[in-house]
Structure 1
């Protein structure tokens, strides 16, 4: 399968480093082999240069002329409905989940760990019951109290 994500004018990128981390913007121009001029008028990223190591290329591409102004980029962005496309993408969902997980407190992490443990026990029991017919989960044995013998 050929590579389809090229550093080109109009390519939408995800910023992974710097003050605009987690936002998307468009490549407007290639300055040299390691830096590009980006602009994200609808996402809050001002027109500035970024190193290619600070960004990840996405599958989205916006059509606007080479070296277009911020106004041109904004019009193309709105026309292609890029913000909604990004929100619906799997990449954005994963990023949101990663952010949500990082913001969990101590008690929330504990509850999550406990819920996962319970889920995994249930899953293991069902799996073993299906594939190992001899497997029986341990049952708690309730001991009956001993009856006292009356001396007559």
Structure 2
């Protein structure tokens, strides 16, 4: 029975009650009410079942996403630790020195250049980054003397 049919049945029941004793006896009226209540109950149970399934699906999706996030965090952490090793340090996984070029950390403007009076200089970490020393390098050129 659809909701529209249920509404019509309730309306008919109301009309019968209002007219009084001209309608069906009390037992017929109770059976009609029982039919309406049973229909409503079955609809609610169906909605609860669908909702429970959707909640379970959502929960499984959240667990899956959470697992992926933890996996990516662990992988990122391992990659960051590997990237933070000093040049020449031996890796446990790859026992060859890591001779990688230092990554530029900033670009500074300094000294007299063309019309502007400045030139771009890349400041890159030197092998002695623990003491805060940097190599100066003109943007796009080879390293100059350390500072």
Taking structure 1 as the reference length, the TM-score comes to: 0.23
**Structure holding more strand per residue:** 1
Larger Rg: 2
**Higher RCO structure, 1 or 2 (CA under 8 Å, sep 6+):** 1
**Structure holding more helix per residue:** 2
